[in-house]
A and B are shown apart, each in its own frame.
Chain A
Amino acid sequence: MLKKTNRITVAFYNFKLKHPRLVMAALVFIIIPLVSGLALGYEMKADVPTSIPTVIVNHDDSDFSRTFTGFVEDSHYFNVIEYAENDQRIKDLMDRDKAFAGIIIPENFYNDMRAGKAPKILTLYDGASLSVVTTCKTAMSEILLTTKGAYMMSIFEGKISAVPDQVMSMVTPIDVNYKFLYNSTKSFRNYLLIGMLASVIQVGIAMQGAERGYENQIAPKSYPEQIKVLGGWSFMSMISILLCLGVQYLFFDMPYRSTVWGGLLMTFLFAMCILTMGYIVGNLVPDRTFAIQISAILVLPTSVLGGYTYPIEGMPYGFQTFAKGLPFFYYGNWIRSLCLKELEFHHLMVPLLFFIKFILAELLIIWAVTLFKNWWRAKHKKEWEVTPIV
């Protein structure tokens, strides 16, 4: 006799046995998108790397060097965790993941500078933490530019007696105004999460596609019926992506600045591309679990191969060409653009056309496979007097 405490387990177990499709669809299309969206959105709540643990070794101890370190302390990008006595301490703390940046100001720095010996400040970054370094370097350069600007003004005023009006334009002969468009705050969430979450969901979509494809092996359907199945499940898949990104929009300030209809259409077509890809695998591979694993493995690496985080200009030529044949190359980059840029429907022609061509090619494959299987079944039905499963 079962214990009372086991009743919930038994009820859930029985429910799973009765409705395996419903349970997995709910897990894949609702629960996982929501949990992933909420968890990762919350994790990266800070959004931009700030308060980067920094160690300073100041061998100079002049007012000038203290002013410089003061700028570093005042910057919200850095958190000076220690003023160390020796240079080795920076490496020690980096080895322990306690510090990500270090500054070494050499002895007699200010005197050497005044004597025109051009001393250098050494900055060290933990290159093993790329996300932090990129922010560190830019912030540190800005601080140095401010300090250097003030110093150069004194040079121009003192050594060549330039009039104050002219000094600024001599210190920076070309004043460059850098404008970071579409993600001016360098939001890590907006850069990374939008596509990565879509990438999480696409794995589920492909696997659900494989399940549907395998079902077709067991109980074959006509071609129009198969297209109906693909359409319905693609719609579910689209809802799943929207749910996941919706969490970011509602709770974590993810913007959406572009055409809504364009975004919906693009998401539906992308979902159909991936679902159909899984369907083809499931329709061909004779083992259900293996079909699911293959379909997942086919789409999993595309989050990296598709040039979503790492620019495709940094890939070898063959990989660049390959990336341009992947649905995620278009969806990942364009869904981020839809969120961050102000795109109109006509801007989306490139990804939409790609998806349509891709889907047509997939449907052609399914048609060919269906024809072949029908022929094969008919042929062997006569021999074996039963309809074989293909």
Chain B
Amino acid sequence: MSEKAKKMTLAEKKEKFMEIKPYLIVLLIPIAFTLLFGGLFSPIFAQNIPIEILDMDQSATSREVIDNFYDSPTLSVKEDVSSVDEIKEKLLTGEIHGAIIIPQDFGKDLNGKKGAKAVVLMDNSNFMYGNNVMSAVNTIFETVNAGVQLKYLEAGSLVPYQAEQSVYTLNLVDRIMYNPQLGYFYYLLPGLLAIFAQQAFLAAGVPILVEEKKRLKDLPMKLSRQFIRVDLSLMVRRFMLLTGLSIISTMICLRLIIKIWGFPMEGNIFVLILFETVFLGAVTGMALVIASIFEEVAHAAQFTMFLTIPTFLSCGFAWPEYMMAPGFAAVIKAIWPLYYYVLPVKNIILKGTGLELLKPYLVGCALFAAVWIPIGLLLFGRKVKIIRELHG
């Protein structure tokens, strides 16, 4: 085999590579991107977000409060500004993402039970920053407040136990289901797996179909039915191979994220495989439609690459269906199948949801495939016929 490879000319090697390229894309691209994004999101929490503290009081009390912020792993505190204007300038340029301003007489007011004030500024243009800063700062101020309240109550004749119970009563206990650490990685990865599968499949499948269309254009007009049947079955087998490789790739991706980053896989792997099979069938319908529109492989490839972000943002993953504008969900479900796959993937992986509950998605996806594969075949066949007539 290696001897044969050695004897091949550069042109032959290139041809061989182009032959196996679609299969390599489907198999390897999702794995490469999973490793890349897995590494990127692996820390789970955002840490050391830069903030400034402006202490205009400069009292022992304000110092005591400020010291608490240095212990927060979320925040990276600096105190090198002397005015609010400087803070605003740093917030504008993104040098810091939050600021705490302790006004004059802060300590006096707190000690005198007059109610001290503090101002927290947060850069909410990217509210991932705003939320993280708010959460960290709020926790610290709540802890400080609770400590002060305890002192007040104990000074007012309550025994420490009673005081503590009074202060800590009526609290919320938050439980984040399916993603306990509220990590971005856990949230995003099921969606990414779905989009990797979709895009790799399209990047491999659409060029095959466009090439096929080009080839058919140049064949003699009167082809026997036998020939067409052989040709069609070859195409079906190639797409089945792509589907199989795509499923293998998704399984490898899952295995990797479980092994390397301890990602939880709650659901049944066979349900996931079933969904991916039906989904790729539906995507095949769309691949046929795209291939029937474009004459050049390069143009079709450009169009399929474009679909990545818009289909991801409109499939109900980042922006849930109930929040979509009227009519949008119905249209998107009718023209693109990702909705029927991405949400089940998320639910299977994170929630462990079974087939029973996911049946509506499966039926929807199967219906989508049942409608769009014939439409795709019809459009593709019609286009082939027209260009054959034109060039024949």
Which A residues contact B (CB, under 8 angstroms)? 2, 6, 9-10, 13, 16-17, 20, 23-24, 27-28, 32, 36, 39-40, 42-46, 49-51, 53, 91, 94-97, 100, 113, 116-134, 137-138, 140-141, 144, 147-148, 151-152, 155-156, 159-162, 166, 168-184, 186, 188, 190-192, 196, 199-200, 203-204, 207, 211, 286-290, 292-293, 296-297, 300-301, 303-305, 308-311, 313-316, 319, 333-334, 336-337, 340-343, 347, 350
The 9 A-B residue pairs with the shortest CB-CB distance, nearest first, are A160-B156, A169-B115, A127-B179, A314-B46, A173-B148, A127-B176, A296-B305, A45-B325, A180-B124
A32–B387 alpha-carbon span in the complex (Å): 26
A16 to chain B, nearest CB (A): 6
Known: A174-B118, A314-B47. A199 touches B157 (CB 8 A): no
Which residue of B127, B186, B318, B383 has the most chain A CB atoms within 10 A of its CB atom? B127
| CB neighbors of A among B188-220 (8 A) | 188, 190, 203, 207
> In the complex, which of the residues A43, A120, A287, A319 contacts B171, with contact meaning CB atoms closer than 8 Å?
A120
- Let me know if B178 is at the binding interface, CB within 8 A: yes
Residues of A within 8 A of B305 (CB): 203, 207, 292-293, 296, 300
Chain A residue numbers with a CB within 8 Å of B324 are 43-44, 46
Structural contact, A176 and B310, CB atoms closer than 8 A? no
1/0 contact string of B126-159 vs chain A (CB within 8 Å):
1111111010011001001100110011011110
Answer whether A289 and B92 are a contact pair too, CB < 8 Å, given A40-B313, A159-B156, A207-B305: no
Given A133-B182, A144-B170, also A6-B386 (CB < 8 A): yes
CB distance from A275 to the nearest CB of B (A): 14
Would A310 and B128 be within 8 Å (CB), given that A9-B383, A301-B37 are in contact? yes
Contact B182 A13 (CB under 8 A): no
Q: Are B328 and A43 in contact (CB under 8 A)?
A: yes
A-B pair number, CB within 8 angstroms: 363
Bound state CA distance, A39 and B157, in angstroms? 64
Q: Are B125 and A183 in contact (CB under 8 A)?
A: yes
Q: A311, B46: Cβ atoms under 8 Å? A: yes
A179 and B122 contacting across the interface, CB-CB below 8 Å: yes
Closest Cβ of chain B to A186, distance in Å, is 5
Q: What is the interface of chain A mostly: helix, strand, loop, or mixed?
A: helix
Q: Given A13-B390, A125-B175, A337-B94, check contact A179 B125 (CB 8 Å).
A: no
* One of B161-169, B226-234, B239-247, B279-287 contacting the partner: B161-169
A181:B318 contact, CB within 8 angstroms = no
CA distance A23 to B49 in the complex (A): 46
**Alpha-carbon distance A156/B320, docked complex (angstroms):** 44
- Bound CA span A9–B383, Å: 8
Chain A residues positioned under 8 Å from B127 (CB to CB)? 134, 180, 183, 186, 191
Q: Chain B residues near A313 (CB, 8 Å)?
A: 46-50, 76
Q: Considering the complex, which residues of chain B in the window 295-328 have a beta carbon less than 8 Å from any beta carbon of chain A?
A: 295-299, 301-303, 305-306, 308-310, 313-314, 318-325, 328
